[in-house]
Homo-oligomer: A and B are copies of this chain.
Amino acid sequence: MARPQTIEDDALIARLSGVFRDAGYKGASLGLLAEGCGLQKASLYHRFPGGKQQMAEEVIAAALDWYEVNIFAPLRGEGTPRERLAAVGQALTAFYADGRKACLLNMLAAPPEADGPFAAAIRGAFTAIIDAFCDLAREAGHDEAQARARATRVVMLLHGSLVLSRGLGSSEPFHAFLASLPGALIEG
């Protein structure tokens, strides 16, 4: 192509994701989004003809892809359940910047309408995350009901720790979640 992109698609999405996670959907104005990625508003519309909604949709899709590679795959991977959870813990620490970055799904769950354009994607994402932890809990010896209850609790703890870390301005709750992860999912 004549003029090369000044920022790669992956990096662009990552920057936009950061703005959405900090400000939420409504709070992420095109000015903020443009500033966050170093492009002008018109350039963003060239990349995303669907506007802000398309940006948010692609950000969600990219986050799910990242989860698939860095969370779901390790959960299914080699090693003992404990070892896999340790790897997942490291990945979560990176993704949520040690508790300083909020959950994208939480920040996008509110905005447009009661059942906005992201509701289906968000529901699917939460379901996939719970299912992934559930599979590991079953593999660790729990029956279906127990595994599902434990997986749900782990996802609740994760997102609660993010809300609390944000509200308290401290990464301590997130660390407490990481420490309790093995016990909550597979032990006992």
Enumerate chain A interface residues (CB-CB to B < 8 A).
22-27, 102-103, 105-107, 109-111, 114-115, 119, 122-123, 125-127, 149, 152-153, 155-161, 163-164, 166-169, 173, 176-177, 180
User: Is B24 a contact partner of A122 (Cβ separation < 8 A)?
Assistant: no
User: Is A155 a contact partner of B149 (Cβ separation < 8 A)?
Assistant: no
The 9 closest A-B pairs by CB, nearest first: A160-B160, A156-B160, A26-B26, A159-B160, A159-B163, A26-B27, A126-B167, A24-B110, A122-B167
Q: Distance (Å) between the CB of A22 and the closest chain B CB?
A: 7
Pick the most buried of A27, A111, A114: most chain B CB atoms within 10 A of its CB.
Answer: A27
Q: Distance (Å) between the CB of A168 and the closest chain B CB?
A: 5
Q: Distance (Å) between the CB of A131 and the closest chain B CB?
A: 12
Name the residue on B nearest A122 (C-beta): B167
- A111 is contacted by which of B27, B161, B164 (Cβ under 8 Å)? B27
With contacts A27-B26, A110-B107 taken as known, whether A176 is within 8 angstroms of B164 at the C-beta atoms is: no
User: Is B24 a contact partner of A111 (Cβ separation < 8 A)?
Assistant: yes
